[in-house]
Amino acid sequence: MPTYPGALASRLPDVGTTIFAVMSRLAAEHGALNLSQGFPDFSAPPALCELVARHMRAGANQYAPMAGAAPLREAIAAKAEAVHGARYDPEHEVTVTAGGTQAIFTAITALVHPGDEVIILEPAYDSYAPAVELAGGRVVRLQLEPPGWRPPWPAVRAAIGPRTRLIVVNSPHNPTGSTWEAADLEALAGAVRGTDVAIVSDEVYEHIVYDGRRHLSLSGHPGLAARSFVVGSFGKTFHVTGWKVGYVLAPRELTAELRKVHQFVVFTVNTPIQLALAEWLADPGTWRDLPAFYQEKRDRFRAGLAATRLRPLPCAGTYFQLVSYDGLSDEPDRALAERLTRELGVASIPVSAFYREPPTGPAHRLLRFCFAKGADTLEQACARLARL
């Protein structure tokens, strides 16, 4: 192919390839155990796969309705009511998306005008800020501080001004594994009361919380639900990240704007998987057992880390474990993550990737490991890390 002859002004000049693709690729190149990108290394439930195949064979292979297959929207609304006591109208307030990242991108694009401000709490999943910037918005970054990573509510209140359009929040939190408490929801409700500020609530790890915790969804808080896009993901809940199916719950006015954009981003999401998920959701056991399932993995991984010089931080939710390498090395986290992949054969994600301007200092010498892996993989990874 000849080279492009024109000049190119990038819409995202500061953005390279997302760290998740970079580290997964490096892991593959070096045959490393891949605990970097967040995905399970075990199979999806065979009966769920069978349901998809059944719907395909039965001919459900053409476009689903733009907002999502009706049975799936109904099942999502029924689950939101059963779990969080939230009442969403499947017709006007539930939209099926091609995964959580598309849901977030679409919600941000639907609301943000050029010059609008969007508050993001760092460390943050790396798709939020580029979505704001592509819409012409300005990202206002506030910091969560280790080891508790609590939202800085006074700073949030101070950051809200006449240009603030959105706040993006995330609990259970990627990458820190922290979760919100009731007081956090009240603080957010207080901060936005009397404003036009809307909220994107990334809750894709909603079913992965530990030690008897209950996930506090913004959908279950009437004051917050009224102004929130609540984003969920079946990839995380049913071990099918490659299927790319998620959803957005939002009041009718917000959903109408969301769908205006959604229809031109993906138009609609694949039909047989939607119909299979609708049936799968009918059994609450499919998500109720998830905390115990992942808690066993978290505990196994943390126990294995005890034999290494890495120090695990608290992990209340998600399938991510942060570890501190303070005292072990003063390498930048990205250099260490790459070295561990090459030399020890264990891939992780450097936490600096979740910041625009990564903080430095001993408290920020952190790597993120994904423990959504089989017991053998976790044990092998810890054995390799013990050589550090």
Residue ranges binding ligand GLN (CB under 6 A): 18, 20, 37-38, 101, 174
Least distance in angstroms from the C-beta of 354 to ligand GLN: 9
Q: Which residue's CB is nearer to ligand GLN, number 88 or number 238?
A: 238
Helix or strand (DSSP H, E) at 229: strand 228-233
For residue 27, the minimal CB distance to ligand GLN (Å) is 12
Q: What letter does residue 317 receive in the DSSP assignment? A: B
Q: Give the Cα separation of 2 and 226 in Å (integer).
A: 52
* Torsion sign across C-alpha atoms 255, 218, 319, 154: positive
User: How much is the CA Rg of the chain, to the nearest whole Å?
Assistant: 21
The answer to whether the beta carbons of residues 301 and 378 sit under 8 Å apart is: yes
Listed residue (140, 142, 136) closest to 108, CA to CA: 136
Report how far residue 231's alpha carbon sits from residue 249's, in angstroms, rounded to the nearest whole number.
Answer: 7
Of 38 and 304, which CB lies nearer to ligand GLN in the complex structure? 38
d(CA 113, CA 104): 16
Closer to ligand GLN at the Cβ: 69 or 313?
Answer: 313
Minimal distance in Å, beta carbon 20 to ligand GLN? 3
Q: How far is the CB of 241 from ligand GLN (least distance, A)?
A: 7
Give alpha helix (H) positions in 85-169.
Answer: 90-93, 100-111, 128-134, 153-159
CB of residue 166 to ligand GLN, shortest distance in Å: 20
Token pair in block for residue 3: 């080279």
Largest interatomic CA distance in the chain: 59
By beta-carbon proximity to ligand GLN, the closer residue of 192 and 347 is 347
In single-letter form, the type of residue at position 199 comes to I
The residue (of 265 and 307) whose beta carbon lies closer to ligand GLN is 265
Closest distance to ligand GLN from the beta carbon of 338 (Å) = 17
Nearer to ligand GLN, 168 or 275 (CB): 168
- Which of 165, 236 has the CB closer to ligand GLN? 236
Beta bridge partner(s), residue 12: none
CB of 301 to ligand GLN, least distance (A): 16
